[in-house]
Amino acid sequence: MTERVMRLREQSLNATETITAERAQLITRFYASREAVGLSAPVLRARAFEYLLRNKAICINEGELIVGERGPSPKATPTYPEISLHSMQDLDILDTREKVSFKVDDEVRRIYSEEIIPFWKGRSNRDRIMERMTPEWLAAYKAGIFTEFQEQRAPGHTVLGYKMFHTGFLDLKREIADAVASLDFRKDPLAYERNEELKAMEIACDAIIMYAGRYADALEALAAAEKDDGRRRELEQMAAICRRVPAHAPRTFHEMLQHYWFIHLGVVTELNPWDSFNPGRLDQHLWPVYKEGTESGTLTPEEAYELLGCFWVKFNNHPSPPKIGVTAQESNTYTDFCLINLGGVKPDGSDAVNDMTYILLDVIREMRILQPSSMIQVSRKNPDTFIHRALDIIRTGFGQPSVFNTEAIIQELLRQGKSIVDARNGGASGCVETGAFGTECYWLTGYFNLVKILEVTLNNGFDTRTGVQVGPMTGDPSTFSTFDDLMLAYSEQVNHFADIKIRGNNVIEKTFALHLPVPFLSLLLEDCIANGKDYNAGGARYNTTYIQGVGLGSITDILTSIRYNIYDMQRFTWQEMLTAMKNNFEDAAEMQYEMIYKTPKYGNDDDYADAQAVAVFEIFHDAVTGRPTPRGGIHRINMLPTTSHVYFGSVTGATPDGRKAWVPLSEGISPFQGVDRQGPTAVIKSASKIDHLRTGGTLLNLKFSPEFFEDEESYGKLTALIRSYFSLDGHHMQFNVVSADTLREAQKHPELYRDLIVRVAGYSDYFNDLGEDLQNEIIRRTEHGEL
Amino acid sequence: MKGLIFSVKRYAIHDGPGIRVTFFMKGCPLDCWWCHNPEGKATGQVTTERIDRVGEREFRSEELVGMEYTPEEVLAKVERDRVFMEHSGGGVTFSGGEPLMQPLFLTESLSLLRSAGFHTTVDTSGYAAPDVMRSVMQYTNLFLYDIKLLDPDAHRKFTGVDNRLIISNLDLLLEGGAEVILRIPVIPGVTADREFMEQLRLFIESRRGRRISGISLLPYHKTGISKYRRFGLPDRMESYSQISNGHLDDYMAILQPLGIHVKKGG
């Protein structure tokens, strides 16, 4: 790492997260101005975008080589009042909350109370959405049955594809002109709408070019005043690059990084799409310009490496836009989920791993920062060396890169009707979400609490926490003579809430299409221009709307416990079980013990338990998959929680798997914490019994101690473990390499870490089964081995 | 026919090549001071107390150490992990205890596994009747073979048995063409010295040309302690210390001229 990158990295790590009122004030002034009157929605949004880019502060950090910030300075985070409006109280919470606070100064408070809140109160899209949701939707939402992504952020989940790394905005303007020329106002009743959208897109093209020009001006001014010859030459070169991109297609490595970065800034300034915009298959895009540059002698590997360091820092300078209301208080994640994809296959299906893949792995290892996050796409065509290099980073325990199955991603996309080339150019974004990069608009709409719905089922449709009859009356469970009766009732409830959620989704989708088109983002996704249609209105080649199931491990254990303890073994009666749930296992510790320790569990390759995972998966899949959306898309499922399993646990009472009330649920498709006792092969076998290929992504976490990564031989075995899971169509796995702190936690709370295996000496054992002295020795050893 | 097994480990990665399933079989004719599977020693089932916690409350239950398996059940268990074995070049390992103490069950299981296409490994002390050795050999791809001490008297002192049978069985395997990895416990005050390693080098040198495909030095760790406590057994190694990494490197250097892969740990 060069001294420059070290300094920029330090600056990024040390910068304080603040709220800036800059964007809020600009957007408010624009909306309040005469200019905003009488425009069609897309043109209004394009003019607003242009106004933002014309007036937002220019930020050039000392020594940096890639320019542009979302806010006026690193980690100064803008707000989006047209989407959701922070109250004064929200600002106080953000300022003082324990985890990841955003400092709010008096000036921001003043601007909010005098300008922003008076203008937007009752007029944000969140207000619009909440006003249009049915009482059933609101009741289910409050009960914690589902969350709603678009309530505080705009639809996003979009990754830049191949085309835009080779296209300038002047080229796009020509495409727009062609599209306008081919409009048929006589035969196409939507021609006027298309024309307005295309007009908006053209404004957006000019706006981003103008914005880059402002940077070029500022850089030239800086260069003129610069006394250091070296830096002056850099500034002059950077100015020339900003004159060139994004107006024109990038020709060099440096131009390509700056080109992407302007596009990134455009997307996150226009709105706050859920999950950061993302360069996607970065090794594929950069490799040709890197090769060309190093071969022709215009770029050295050291220069390229330094540029990548500067590029990495830019992502880390951008925390996720802070939330409002309850979520502001609870949310402790502020990463914006930008996920760099490495490896996979080329458009022709051949091995895509190249030198740039390995260079980027080095960057990831050395930068070791939260954002951008990274993943490897593992195809059966990729060499083992590629996986080994990734394991070398994974073993250091910072959770990156995660590991994905290219063949599964491709099959998932093909099943959804994508062409083979679009599928091969795809990957995963956010946490694990499958998408066709550059061609697909795939929205995530909210987490779906599979466990809460069972709780509601056990209470005949009633939610005991909020005191509301949220679901249909599917019967008192003690009248169910068979386990299948319970499953039928559960299925009815799942379908009921899926209906409510989908109805809500369709209304929300329409509000974005009508009120919040995104002409700039639409430029980037293929077919929006040709269709003359906005990204938010179905302009992209492919459109998918996802609902994310949460708590598969928990719901499986709960249903298994009911099947086993009530029906098959007749250990308890329904009455006994329901009473124990109601009393949160008070005076029922014996029962809780039987449920935790003497009942089959998901994650152990036990077909008896895993049958319930498959059954729930099928119910959820059938309730959602295939339902159409207003923008011409299809509803589908994926299985990932981010951190919602904590929130969903906090609204769900005690459950028949022995879990006490308000405790977090299982995450992703991983087993509930500590219940898998047969090692990683058994977890993988359980997790692969559901059909991953009918999802848009699943998330599996595996916990390992660092000793499993000790040498090449163990890398070989982990590689085989990965390839085995992927041959069973597993979508994703993440290695959670435990730290000494985790081991100390496990000493304190052994019941939560029953699955924790550590290498002892020539063999492995469950950490819990070791004596305290030996545990301490392993903790010391782990600490010693940690980087 | 049934075998008595005290533990089955999946994702076993130190008991032979690739990802394996290891069956730890009950019963052992030896009585090594440093044994870290003392629960495997007795031939019958034993019970131990298991303590589980729910919040502040402890629940005690009797747990049986030793489960009966038929060879068909062994095969069924192994089949569950076939995919991992095929991707890693792994297979099945029988360890213990001493697997050769249950020769009929072992031979039958190995034969079934082999016909189902699995790689088989037997981890043994070598202390068994030569006939047993011969019948097991035909279904075994790899032996992990312990050489604990070379001096018969010292061997008797620390393991309870003479080592001559063990050495002649080793030669029986080697002459029969079996592949063997030698496992050497490095015990402070017992085998952890240069002199023993020199002797060992000569011992192996004299078997040059046979299929000794590796040597594993297994450093003594105080890992069994908690088990000794749990099973209420005396720990004779109490006054012994652990091996330092530096010493281990010395010993490896002594053995390296053999041209056989030497490694630390399993």
Structure pTM? 0.94
pLDDT band per the 50, 70, 90 thresholds, residue B234: confident
Neighbouring-strand partners of residue B123: B144
Catalytic residue flag (residue A433)? yes
Distance from CA of B138 to the nearest CA of A (A): 27
Kindly list the residues from chain B whose CB atom is less than 8 angstroms away from the CB atom of residue A661: none
Neighbouring-strand partners of residue A257: none
Kindly list the residues from chain B whose CB atom is less than 8 angstroms away from the CB atom of residue A758: none
For an interface test with A, the pick among B53, B57, B84 (most A C-beta atoms closer than 10 Å) comes out as B84
The shortest CB-CB distance from B266 to any of A596, A728, A763 is to A763
The shortest CB-CB distance from B81 to any of A681, A727, A765 is to A681
Q: How many domains does chain B have?
A: 1
Torsion, Cα of A568, A574, A576, A582 (10° steps): 130
pLDDT of residue B45: 86
Q: Please give the Cα distance from A722 to A378 (Å, whole number).
A: 9
pLDDT of residue A787: 34
pLDDT of residue A764: 65
Tell if the CB–CB gap between A774 and B13 is shorter than 8 Å: no
pLDDT of residue A328: 60
CA quadruple A619, A621, A622, A624: dihedral sign: positive
Tell if the CB–CB gap between A770 and B229 is shorter than 8 Å: no
Tell if the CB–CB gap between B53 and A750 is shorter than 8 Å: yes
pLDDT of residue A326: 61
Amino acid of residue B2: K
The domain that holds B156 is classified in CATH as: 3.20.20.70
Cα angle value A500/A328/A493 (rounded, 5°): 20
The shortest CB-CB distance from B84 to any of A724, A750, A764 is to A724
Cis peptide before A246 (omega within 30 of 0): yes
Q: Please give the Cα distance from A150 to A546 (Å, whole number).
A: 12
The shortest CB-CB distance from A763 to any of B14, B84, B229 is to B14
Q: Is residue B140's pLDDT more than 60?
A: yes
List, for residues B84-134, the tens digit of each pLDDT value.
Answer: 999 999 999 999 899 999 999 999 999 999 999 999 999 999 999 999 999
The active-site residue, picked from A205, A310, A338, A431, is A431
pLDDT band per the 50, 70, 90 thresholds, residue B38: confident
Interface A-B, measured as beta-carbon pairs within 8 A, has a size of 100
Name the strand (E) or helix (H) holding A530.
helix A528-531
Tell if the CB–CB gap between A727 and B53 is shorter than 8 Å: no
Supply the ipTM of this predicted assembly: 0.94
The active-site residue, picked from A196, A433, A455, A526, is A433
- B226 near A CB under 8 A: yes
Q: Which of residues 184-213 of B touch A (CB under 8 A)?
A: none
Q: Which residues of chain A carry a pLDDT beneath 50?
A: 786-787
CB B124 within 8 A of CB B143: yes
Tell if the CB–CB gap between B83 and A678 is shorter than 8 Å: no
Q: What distances in angstroms separate CA A522 from CA A43, A179, A191, A541, one per listed residue?
A: 13, 14, 17, 11
Catalytic residue flag (residue A205)? no
pLDDT of residue A693: 98
- B225 near A CB under 8 A: yes
pLDDT top residue among B227 and A138: A138
Tell if the CB–CB gap between A679 and B11 is shorter than 8 Å: yes
Tell if the CB–CB gap between B226 and A721 is shorter than 8 Å: no
The chain-wide mean pLDDT, for chain B, equals 92
- B261 near A CB under 8 A: no
Q: What range does the domain containing B100 cover?
A: 3-264
Directed axis angle between helix B130-137 and helix B103-115, to 10°?
10
What phi-psi label fits residue B231: left (phi over 0), alpha (psi between -120 and 50 degrees) or beta?
alpha
Tell if the CB–CB gap between B218 and A681 is shorter than 8 Å: no
Cα angle value A693/A446/A722 (rounded, 5°): 35
- B223 near A CB under 8 A: yes
List, for residues A25-73, the tens digit of each pLDDT value.
Answer: 999 999 999 999 999 999 999 999 999 999 999 999 999 999 999 999 9
CB A665 within 8 A of CB A554: yes
| Domain ranges, ordered by start, for chain A | 1-38+69-141, 160-272, 281-436+712-726, 442-699, 738-787
